[in-house]
Structure 1
Amino acid sequence: MRVLMGKMIDKMKKRWGVETLGGVLLILFIFSITGMTALYVRKFVFGWLGFDAETPLWIELIAWVLVVFPSYQILFLIYGFLLGQFEFVWNFEKKSLHRIKSLFVRE
Structure 2
Amino acid sequence: MSWIEKLKNKWGLESNWQFVIIMLVFACTGTTVVLIKKPLIQLLFEDGVKPLWFQISYWVLILPIYNVILLCYGFLFRQFDFFWKYEQKMLKRFGIKVNADKE
**TM-score between both structures, scaled by the size of structure 2:** 0.79
C-alpha deviations, 1:26-65, integer Å up to 9, x for none?
A: 1011000000001112222222221733x33453122332
Structure with higher RCO (Cα < 8 A, 6+ apart):
1
Structure 1 vs Structure 2 CA RMSD = 1.9
Name the structure 2 match of 1:62: 57
Deviation at 1:92, TM superposition (A): 0.5
Gapped runs of 5+ residues in structure 2?
97-103
Q: 2:39 aligned with 1:30, yes or no?
A: no
Percent sequence identity is 36
CA distance in 2, matches of 1:91, 1:27: 13
Structure number with higher helix proportion: 1
CA change 1:61–1:39 in 2 (3 A) is same
The aligned counterpart of 2:11 is 16
The C-alpha deviation readout for 1:66-100, integer Å capped at 9, x for no partner, is 2x322211110011011110000001011112212
Runs ≥4 residues deviating over 6 A: none
TM-score normalised by length of structure 1:
0.77
